[in-house]
Amino acid sequence: MRRILRFITSKLFFIVPLVLLQFALFALAFFRAALYLEIQPIVTVIAWLFTVYVVNREEEPSFKIAWIIAILGLPVVGVPLYMIFGNRKMPKKLVEDTTQASLKMQALMTPDIAVLNDLPDSREDIKEVFRYGITRCGFPVWRNSRSRYFSSGEEWKPVFLEELKKAEYFIFMEYFIIIEGNLWNEVSAILKEKAGKGLHVVLIYDDFGCVTLPRVYLNDLREAGVEVYTFNRIRPALAAQMNNRDHRKLVIIDNRTAFTGGVNLADEYVNEIARFGYWKDSAVMIQGEAVWSMTVMFMGMYSYVLGNKAEINFAAYKLPCGKENDGGWYQPWSDTPTDSEYVALNMHLNMIGHARRYLYIDTPYLILNEAMKSTLRLAAKNGVDVRILVPKIPDKFFTNQITKSYYLTLLQAGVRIYEYTPGFVHAKNFVSDDRIAIVGTANTDFRSYYLHFEDGILMHGTPEVIRIREDFEKSIAQAEEITEEAARNVNIVLRLLRAILAIMRQMF
């Protein structure tokens, strides 16, 4: 009831009907035009021209198929919708401003590929995974750092709050979801206290993810001296950029300590309230030199929300940090939909393609493009022990049905799939061969790979890689393994629903 009241009193309650009304009027206008102006032959020709254009674009095959069905099946609606959403052309200002912010970010980091020569691992393919981030994306590989992996939100919370309290110079926070409750009250109290003592405290939040958060909370932060910025304010408009959300979870403290992972600032993430059974999540804390990459990632977004004309003394935030060392190698990375490099997708593909003994994946949404599906199947066929953990209790019914639509084809190739019976899995982890792992914010789905701003940390040689593997093994001990027979035993109506949903999911 409380969440329903939040939604009713949020601006999303008013925006959604307005967007749906626009869509209905939009479709009706095109339909009537085609009917009464007798231009159906022209519309058909236009639809075929768009189809040729879509076929020849460098896009995911499933994405192309979904739009071709829409364009040819109902041209008067499909063609205009493709022009708005399918072409993925974002507003010039969003592209230019985020590009400028990225250029500033790159200027603050100087990746050195020669560092890979010191990598103690004898396997050349480990170096190849890191090499992609260096040569294509400009993300340095760091030593003199240490990590701590958290296997749940409640394990993460006390450490997170304690590190916030230790801040002496600045706190940078960037979140997709913030919901009022105990966790947010504790965090906001620390932020206000630190800002009152003169620390530079900045919060960037995604407007869609935080749509139910009463604005009084944000105003209180501003009055206390916290800088608060909204990313991509939602509007009652049919606009492609409404799809592009800031899905990152970044916290940087004094360039000394940083956090990322799946945990948002809401009570269900730390199991102080139960929504979908037990909430299984993960996070990671980094300390040492690798934190600078995460500081720079945040400042790239900070530069964007401030406006690129704002003068920021970036060097002032490169505070000295202790040379921590747990033997690990770390490569923090970020991904933006405003360029042509699909970093999160390629990081995941690299992990799959270079696994030799095992590959374990935690993901809330298993919605695969052709590249991911083929690479997972091939790894299993090559003898790699590929296992995937997904929720038994989903947070979204339709998304869960799409996830289930991929079960059979993966199982037939030898991939093992487990549904976490205690509740919902929100962790986004990849780990393989006790050597290499990724903890981040990107789901294995279309939105994370193509539409969202994401981040993660690629790590090797740290003891935390073993802890991530052990956490996965504990989780599947509480999970139900899906069999081919169970995956086949689905009625025709549900199969059809899953197929339709899978096509629609590729479009938006």
Structure-block tokens of residue 85: 């959403």
N-to-C CA span, the chain:
29
206: closest CA among 247, 166, 168?
247
Cα separation of 447 and 400, whole Å? 15
Cα separation of 101 and 128, whole Å? 28
| Secondary structure letter of residue 366 according to DSSP | B
Cα separation of 347 and 328, whole Å? 18
Tokens 């995911």 belong to 60
Q: What phi and psi, each to the nearest 5 degrees, are found at residue 439?
A: -120, 130
Cα separation of 430 and 379, whole Å? 14
- To the nearest 10 degrees (0 to 180), the angle between helices 61-73 and 492-507 is 100
Q: pLDDT digit string (tens) for 317-342?
A: 999 887 788 999 999 999 998 888 99
Q: pLDDT digit string (tens) for 88-136?
A: 666 566 666 666 666 667 777 888 888 888 887 667 788 899 999 999 9
Q: Dihedral of the CA atoms 308, 312, 315, 317 (nearest 10)?
A: -110
The answer to whether the CB of 328 falls within 8 A of the CB of 254 is no
| Secondary structure letter of residue 451 according to DSSP | I
Query: What confidence score (pLDDT) does residue 482 get?
Result: 98
Would you state the CATH architecture of domain 92-117+145-326?
2-Layer Sandwich (3.30)
Listed in sequence order, the residues at least 6 apart from 127 whose beta carbon sits closer than 8 Å to its beta carbon are 116, 119, 121
By CB neighbour count within 10 A (0-12 exposed, 13-18 middle, 19+ buried), where does 150 fall? Answer: buried
Query: What confidence score (pLDDT) does residue 211 get?
Result: 86
Cα separation of 377 and 386, whole Å? 9
448: left (phi over 0), alpha (psi -120 to 50) or beta: alpha
Query: What confidence score (pLDDT) does residue 20 get?
Result: 62
Structure-block tokens of residue 148: 């701590």
Cβ atoms < 10 Å from Cβ of 31: 13
Strands 200-206 and 170-175: parallel
Query: What confidence score (pLDDT) does residue 200 get?
Result: 97
Q: Do the domains at 92-117+145-326 and 343-507 have one common CATH topology?
A: yes
Structure-block tokens of residue 415: 């991939």
Using alpha carbons only, what angle is made at residue 353 by residues 483 and 297, rounded to the nearest 5 degrees?
A: 110
Query: What confidence score (pLDDT) does residue 81 get?
Result: 76
Query: What confidence score (pLDDT) does residue 457 get?
Result: 98
pTM, to two decimals: 0.90
Chain-wide mean pLDDT for the chain? 87
Q: Dihedral of the CA atoms 443, 355, 377, 485 (nearest 10)?
A: -80
Spans of the chain below 70 pLDDT: 1-40, 84, 86-104, 121-122, 236-241, 308-310, 506-508
Domain boundaries, the chain: 2-86, 92-117+145-326, 343-507
DSSP count for the chain of H helices, then E strands: 19, 17
Say if domain 343-507 classifies as CATH 3.30.870.10: yes
The answer to whether the CB of 50 falls within 8 A of the CB of 79 is yes
Query: What confidence score (pLDDT) does residue 122 get?
Result: 60
